[in-house]
Every structure is written in C-alpha cells, then in structure tokens.
Amino acid sequence: MKTPNPTAPAFGAGHASTYAAGTPRTVPGFDGLHAMTSQLLAERVKEDGKILVLGAGGGLARARISVSSAADW
C-alpha cells in the first residue's frame, strides 16, 4: 500500500485530464439523466427564463444540456 504524499496536489494534471470521461463510465443512467433534464427544461422553462447551474466538476452536465436546449442557458 502506498503512503499518501501530503504535499501532492489533491487534483493534479493527471487526474484532471481524465476527470470528465470518468463519470459517464461509472454512473449508470448518466446519459439518460442529461437527456431527460434537457427535455424537461425545454418543456417547462419560458423562452426568456434563466437557469442557475450549481455544482462542481468540469462543466460536462451544463455542456450536454446546453447543446440540446436554448443557446443562452
């Protein structure tokens, strides 16, 4: 077992380069969740509506939802 290095960054370049690809592979239904979210937002948010996106990560969820929804979300 490796001993953790207390001076190593918690989120280094190696981890960052694969971060966004990991979630869709490890979370069942990830793609379906985004498809359903896009559909619900398109149906329920008014044309001039605003959406506040909260979260942490690489922005993958926002990018996936924006592609199929209003351009200014």
Q: At 66, which amino acid appears?
A: S
Q: What is the pLDDT of residues 47-57, one digit of tens each?
A: 788 877 777 66
Contact criterion met (CB below 8 Å) for 65 and 37: yes
Which residues, at least 6 apart from 28, have a Cβ–Cβ distance to it below 8 Å?
none
- The answer to whether 64 and 34 have CB atoms below 8 angstroms apart is yes
In this prediction, residue 2 carries a pLDDT of 75
pLDDT attached to residue 72: 57
* Mean pLDDT, range 46-70, rounded to an integer: 70
Angle at 28 between CA 25 and CA 29, to 5 degrees: 110
**Confidence check: pLDDT of 17 > 60:** yes
pTM score of the predicted model: 0.58
